[in-house]
Amino acid sequence: MTEYYNVADIFGENVFNDATMQERLPKKTYRKLKETIREGRELDPDTADVVAHEMKEWAIEKGATHFTHWFQPLTGVTAEKHDSFISAPMDNGKVLMSFSGKELIKGEPDASSFPSGGLRATFEARGYTAWDPTSPAFVRQDAAGATLCIPTAFCSFTGEALDQKTPLLRSMEALDKQTIRLLRLLGNTTSKSAMPSVGIEQEYFLIDRQHFLARKDLVYTGRTLVGAMPPKGQEMDDHYFGAIRERIAAFMRDVNTELWKLGVAAKTQHNEVAPAQHELAPIYTQANVAVDHNQMIMETLKKVAFRHDLQCLLHEKPFAGVNGSGKHDNWSLVTDDGINLLDPGKTPHDNVQFLLVLCCILKAVDTHADLLRESAADVGNDHRLGADEAPPAIISVYLGTQLQDVLTQLISTGSATHSIGEEKLNTGVKTLPDFLKDATDRNRTSPFAFTGNKFEFRMVGSEDSVGEPNTVINTIVAEAFSDACDELEKADNIELAVHDLIKRYARDHERIVFNGNGYSSEWVEEAERRGLPHIKNMVDAIPALTHEKTVALFERFGVLTRAELASRAEIEYEIYAKKLNIEAKTMIDITRKQIVPAVIRYTTVLAESVNQVKAASKEADASTQSQMLFEVSDLLAQTRLGLSKLEQVESEGVKMAGGRERAVYYRDEVRSAMNALRVHIDKLEMLVDKEMWPMPSYGDMLFEV
């Protein structure tokens, strides 16, 4: 039975949010905590004790038995270690529930198995988790009971960042500082701080759980390693924004309820381009909270799907030949007094502050295109980027007609004198109002697109954490602001200097702007002429992490050290080779144990049939069936050859030492062996009796949800 409720009543009910803190904490403690958060200081022990106590009492009322420091190690998913609130039994045999300030602020998980890229020797297994008080604690209720989750950062014993969160917070501080510096130069005396606002659109697939369980490739690797295209794909565009079916609607309703309770402002939901593909987007919020919320969204999608006997696939490319999933990272920069620095206003040509910010961002993206590309590199994303369904692998910025025109004026005449106005869009229907056509049009093919009052970084993979992309955007923009300030602070005439700077940045970095079709082959050639990097895969993207330019950038703003960057590169090579190794082993397994035996059974049936028709002297039938038998047997032989090749390269790969060389080997040798094998198997799937094929087809999975 459907239960109806008022969203406003349940929103944030499981979050230790501002309203709850204000209600629960003594006035003095509340004030202290807010100050600490605002000024980004460390919490003093006495205040922490009071906060911890109240937080525990509140959580216990929600049924919580355990607490966990919820963190995001470099595996891409969240990690948690659960401790119960109970303290040592007392003499009377009863227990007390306790939770100290120390436990709230700092945890010390034995975290030796998390990737550290050589930063922390295994014997020095200690890692620290430290509460990020700017992201509120929450109680998660599920089959495991209720757990108080404390969003934290994760560092090594000596303070090196081992997670996504620490550098993100550092980058936000750097950006805050440089933004305020720039604003002061422009005459703003009132804004005290500036934070990136981030809204993330999450794409995912939903399939029936029984289908999922019958596909070992999905179970082990998150994507199908074999599979022929169904007769119908997405060509009719009948799924995109189509009416949502009941089963899916019930799932979405549950997802929303869960998220709303957790204070995640889930807002938009719709069907996506591919069959069985959907999207969910919450309302934007402060970057670190948005990053946490995105992790909560991914967890919730999976958990709720399970309850509906569905499986949520977050992989970037679960089905070859069908559109994959991405994530759009919408980014803007907003001051504490509500100024969005990316809001162009109606007449951007005379909005000096906006033009300066915009040109700084062009400079940032142009200078660090390789690093931005790296931040979106992910094993699964290699199947998408540059494949005509996702942004090309070349970074460029889309500005749209109006801003492009302003930029052109700036470059050609040195100043911009007018803005193309908003056009009326005549609906041609009397009863419908005429719309004001948005002056900022859309371009789905651009990786970094200006969309009205924000930039939309469209390259991120659906399964990846958005921590890294946001860390990069924050830091490169902080650098561009800082460079601008260094120059402007020396100027005698600030107005003239700003004007000159805008003009120069526009001219020097115009090459990163591209408003055309990013899927066209002309663009690839044009980008090459412009000297823009075209980085085709993750293995080639990783070196950007350790370029001198990158090290200088991150060290200058205290976001990541040289050692931290080197460790991150190491981890990424490692992850790449490991994931491909699992894929290769899975493919070997299903080919050997499921596909080859099934095909042999089918050839036996065919051979028997040939004999029968021959015996009945039906020569024509016998000839057709012999032909079929021949075709299947031939493909079977090819499959077995392909299988031995894959087994051979896989066994070589396992023997190699880690690092870049092994990742390159997996990309070049193992992946091509897998692709070659797949071709034969997919052809076989089209020939073999469906009843005998050992796993659900693409058609089953995509259309029978």
User: Interface with ligand ADP includes 340 (CB under 6 A)?
Assistant: yes
589 CB burial (10 A radius; 0-12, 13-18, 19+): middle
Question: Shortest Cβ distance from residue 469 to ligand ADP (Å)?
Answer: 13
Pick the closer one to ligand ADP by CB: 201 or 208: 201
CB 694, CB 670: distance < 8 Å:
no
Nearest residue to ligand ADP, using CB? 199
Residue 340 interacting partner from Mg ion, ligand ADP, none (CB closer than 5 to 8 Å by kind): ligand ADP
Is the CB of 111 or the CB of 358 nearer to ligand ADP? 358
Q: Which of 239, 328, 363, 667 is the binder for Mg ion (CB under 5 A)?
A: 328
Q: 199 with 191: CB under 8 angstroms?
A: no
Q: Which of 129, 221, 330, 440 binds ligand ADP (CB under 6 A)?
A: 330
Please report whether residue 453 would count as binding ligand ADP according to CB under 6 A. Answer: yes
In DSSP terms, 97 is beta-bridged to: 86
How far is it, in rounded angstroms, from Cα 141 to Cα 138?
Answer: 10
Tokens of 17: 């949010």
Residue 164 contacts residue 171 (beta carbons within 8 Å): no
Q: Which is nearer to ligand ADP, 58 or 284 (CB)?
A: 284
Site string for ligand ADP, 234-273 (x = CB under 6 A): ----------------------------------x-----
With contacts defined by CB under 5 A, how many residues of the chain interact with Mg ion?
A: 1
Q: Which of 278, 454, 458, 662 binds ligand ADP (CB under 6 A)?
A: 454
Q: Phi and psi (nearest 5°) for 626?
A: -65, -40
- Shortest distance, position 91 Cβ to ligand ADP, whole Å: 55
Q: Does 462 bind ligand ADP (CB under 6 A)?
A: no
**Helix ranges restricted to H, 489-595:** 494-509, 521-530, 538-541, 548-556, 562-590
Q: How far is the CB of 461 from Mg ion (least distance, A)?
A: 15
Q: Which of residues 371-430 bind ligand ADP (CB under 6 A)?
A: none
- What is the size of the binding site for ligand ADP (CB under 6 A)? 16
State which residue, 339 or 387, has the beta carbon closest to ligand ADP: 339
List the single partner that 393 binds among ligand ADP, Mg ion, none, CB under 5 to 8 Å by kind. Answer: none
Phi, psi of 602 (to 5 degrees): -65, -40
- How many Cα atoms within 13 Å fall on the side-chain side of residue 504? 9
Residue 294 contact, options ligand ADP, Mg ion, none, Cβ 5-8 Å cut-off depending on partner type:
none
Reading the block at residue 142, the tokens are: 């599920």
Q: How far is CA 30 from CA 14, 39, 40, 321, in A?
A: 19, 14, 15, 54
Question: Does 99 sit near ligand ADP (CB under 6 A)?
Answer: no
Site string for ligand ADP, 432-451 (x = CB under 6 A): -------------------x
The helix/strand/coil state of 261 is helix
Cβ-based neighbour number of residue 344 at 10 Å: 22
Report the residue number, 179 or 330, with the smaller CB distance to ligand ADP.
330
Tokens representing 618?
Answer: 């039906």
The binder of 311, among Mg ion, ligand ADP, none, by C-beta within 5 to 8 A per type, is none
Q: Look up residue 42 and give its DSSP letter.
A: P
152 binds, among ligand ADP, Mg ion, none (CB under 5 to 8 A by kind): none
Within 8 A by CB and 6+ apart from 429, the residues are none
Residue 172 interacting with ligand ADP (CB under 6 A): no
CA distances in angstroms from 102 to 27, 44, 47, listed in the order given: 21, 10, 11
Q: Provide the greatest CA pair distance for the chain.
A: 103
Q: Which of 281, 376, 406, 527 binds ligand ADP (CB under 6 A)?
A: 281
Which token pair is 547?
């370029």
Q: CA-to-CA distance for 227 and 529, rounded, in angstroms?
A: 39
Binding mask 149-178 for Mg ion (x = CB under 5 A): ------------------------------
Tokens representing residue 664 in the block: 């390159």
283 binds, among Mg ion, ligand ADP, none (CB under 5 to 8 A by kind): ligand ADP
Q: Which residue has the tokens 């029968």?
A: 612
The tokens of 501 are what?
């700077």
Out of 14, 164, 171, 332, point to the residue binding ligand ADP (CB under 6 A).
332
Which of 272/570 has CB closer to ligand ADP?
Answer: 272
Among positions 77, 283, 637, 692, the unique one binding ligand ADP when judged by CB under 6 A: 283
- C-alpha 411/C-alpha 202 separation (Å) is 37
Distances (CA, A) of 340 to 22, 332, 344, 412, 453: 28, 7, 9, 28, 8
Contact 195, 286 (CB under 8 A): yes
Q: 199 contacts which partner out of ligand ADP, Mg ion, none, CB within 5 to 8 A by kind? A: ligand ADP
Task: Name the segment binding ligand ADP (CB under 6 A); options: 277-285, 390-398, 488-496, 681-689.
Answer: 277-285
| Residue 197 touches which member of Mg ion, ligand ADP, none, C-beta under 5-8 Å by kind | ligand ADP
Rounded distance, CA 689 to CA 693, Å?
Answer: 7
| Min separation Cβ 333 and ligand ADP, Å | 8
End-to-end CA distance of the chain: 21
Residue 197 touching ligand ADP (CB under 6 A): yes
As beta bridge partners, residue 150 has 69
Nearest to residue 474, comparing CAs of 553, 366, 565?
A: 553
Residue 315 or 328 with smaller CB distance to Mg ion = 328
Residue range at the interface with ligand ADP (CB under 6 A); choices 126-134, 275-283, 296-304, 524-532:
275-283
Q: How far apart are CA 283 and CA 259, in angstroms?
A: 12
Please say which residue, 328 or 568, places its beta carbon nearer to Mg ion.
328
Residues paired with 249 in a beta bridge: none
Least distance (Å) from ligand ADP to the CB of residue 425? Answer: 16
Q: Which does 281 bind (CB under 5 to 8 A by kind): Mg ion, ligand ADP, none?
A: ligand ADP
- The binder of 453, among Mg ion, ligand ADP, none, by C-beta within 5 to 8 A per type, is ligand ADP
Q: Which residues of this protein are in contact with ligand ADP, per CB under 6 A?
A: 197-199, 201, 268, 281-284, 330-332, 340, 451, 453-454
Residues of this chain that bind Mg ion (CB under 5 A): 328
